[in-house]
């Protein structure tokens, strides 16, 4: 080959070579702070995905609702504007997959193992299958522990909830739960919570310590009750078309990255929430109350009828499968 031809061939090959090297970008959007179990899980996934694919995949993290709020991020995933999310299991109702709300039934899980038995078993897999017609694929469940309650007054007895405006995630089971306590539920995006509490749009909320701490909820709420009445967890989900269209070797590497980051996220949830609770205590701004067994029994008496009431929404078979797995 003459030099001229060589130069020409190299010039022709160049655009293709640089095209081939352009990384596949995964935009991973979520609504919480980076310094939370979900934020850290997402960071770990990014590191593992980029490392395992040798840089062929680049993961861009968008925490704190900086790209989309709760409802918008689901739509963005379906449209392919982002490729990955990890919404709370309480946020799938508006998508039309109401069965996920089984996870919101009050006092369903006695501990983390009981929750994990449901997600790791048949029900967890069946629920993910229900996402596929929506163009979404479920990859993993990430735990974030138990809900506590907050307000500007002590919430010890059921009567204390009467007429309280309580922010909830977009789950009809959570709506029924707050009503059963005598409160007035209000669905609101997570990103709006701080201001809504500050301005009195709502009086209180349920949530986990890692979110209460990183969103500085302790600045706008004087009382928290360690009720552990509900549970918060996430589904790591991807746009199905994007995922199915990945080269097989890359998908396998990403599956491994998901597996490892899931083990990590689940392992840190409890300690991270414990640490956050210490941070809230250290702020000196909140009175933290642990209910007595008698008080918890009173909550249970008010809340357990929600299970029956929600059969028509969530499905009796789903609820029974959850009971069986949760033990
Ligand atoms: C909430 O909206 O309270 C939670 O789902 C936020 C989160 O993702 O932890």
Spans in the chain with pLDDT lower than 50: 1, 16-17
Kindly state the percentage of the chain with pLDDT values over 70: 94
148: its two tokens: 């506590």
Q: How far is the CA of 13 from the centre of ligand 1 (A)?
A: 48
**259 within 8 A of 141, measured Cβ to Cβ:** no
Q: Kindly give the residue spans of alpha helices, DSSP state H, lying in 130-199.
A: 172-180, 193-199
ipTM score above 0.95: yes
**Per-residue pLDDT reduced to its tens digit, 233-280:** 999 999 999 999 999 999 999 999 999 999 999 999 999 999 999 999
Predicted confidence at residue 273, as pLDDT, reads 98
- Residues contacting residue 55 through CB under 8 Å, at least 6 positions apart: 23
Tell me the sheet residues that pair with 223: 151, 287
Does ligand 1 have an atom closer than 6 angstroms to the CB of 211? yes
Residue 21 pLDDT:
77
Mutate which of 30, 31, 70, 237 for ligand 1 pocket (most atoms within 8 A of beta carbon): 31
- Separation of alpha carbons 32 and 190, rounded Å: 8
User: Does residue 98 contact residue 314 with C-beta atoms inside 8 Å?
Assistant: yes
Q: Report yes or no on whether pTM surpasses 0.80.
A: yes
**How does pLDDT run across 74-100, given as a tens digit for each residue?**
999 999 999 999 999 999 999 999 999
CA of 9 to the centre of ligand 1 (A): 54
- Which residue of 39, 142, 169, 185 sits with most ligand 1 atoms within 8 Å of its CB, as the best mutation to test the pocket? 169
Q: How far is the CA of 323 from the centre of ligand 1 (A)?
A: 24
Concatenated DSSP letters of 216-278: TGGGT-SEEE----SEEEEEEEEEHHHHHTS-HHHHHHHHHHHHHHHHHHHHHHHHHHHHHHH
The β-bridge relationship of strands 165-168 and 148-151 is unpaired
CA pair distance 201, 167, nearest whole angstrom: 9
Q: How far is the CA of 119 from the centre of ligand 1 (A)?
A: 18
Give the pLDDT of residue 211.
98
């Amino acid at each position: 080959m003459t030099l001229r031809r060589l130069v020409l061939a190299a010039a022709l090959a160049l655009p293709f070579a640089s095209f081939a090297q352009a990384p596949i970008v995964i935009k991973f959007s979520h609504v919480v702070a980076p310094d939370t179990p979900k934020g850290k899980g997402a960071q770990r996934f990014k590191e593992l995905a980029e490392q395992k694919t040798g840089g062929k995949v680049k993961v861009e993290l968008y925490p704190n609702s900086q790209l989309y709020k709760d409802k918008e991020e689901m739509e963005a995933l379906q449209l392919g504007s982002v490729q990955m999310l990890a919404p709370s299991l309480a946020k799938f109702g508006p998508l039309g997959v109401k069965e996920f709300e089984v996870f919101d039934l009050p006092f369903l899980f006695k501990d983390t193992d009981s929750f994990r038995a449901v997600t790791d078993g048949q029900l967890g897999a069946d629920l993910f299958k229900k996402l596929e017609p929506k163009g979404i694929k479920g990859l993993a469940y990430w735990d974030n522990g138990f809900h506590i309650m907050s307000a500007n007054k002590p919430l010890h007895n059921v009567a204390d909830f009467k007429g309280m405006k309580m922010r909830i995630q977009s789950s009809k089971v959570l709506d029924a739960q707050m009503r059963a306590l005598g409160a007035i539920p209000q669905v609101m995006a997570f990103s709006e919570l701080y201001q809504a509490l500050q301005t009195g749009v709502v009086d209180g909320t349920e949530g986990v310590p890692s979110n209460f701490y990183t969103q500085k909820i302790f600045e706008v709420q004087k009382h928290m009750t360690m009720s552990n009445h509900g549970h918060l967890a996430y589904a790591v989900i991807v746009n199905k078309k994007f995922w199915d269209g990945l080269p097989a070797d890359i998908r396998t590497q990403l599956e491994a990255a998901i597996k490892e980051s899931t083990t990590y996220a689940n392992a840190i949830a409890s300690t991270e929430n414990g640490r956050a609770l210490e941070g809230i205590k250290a702020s000196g701004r909140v009175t933290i109350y642990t209910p007595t067994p008698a008080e918890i029994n009173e909550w249970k008496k008010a809340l357990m009828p929600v299970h029956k009431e929600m059969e028509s929404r969530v499905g009796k078979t789903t609820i029974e499968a959850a009971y069986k797995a949760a033990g």
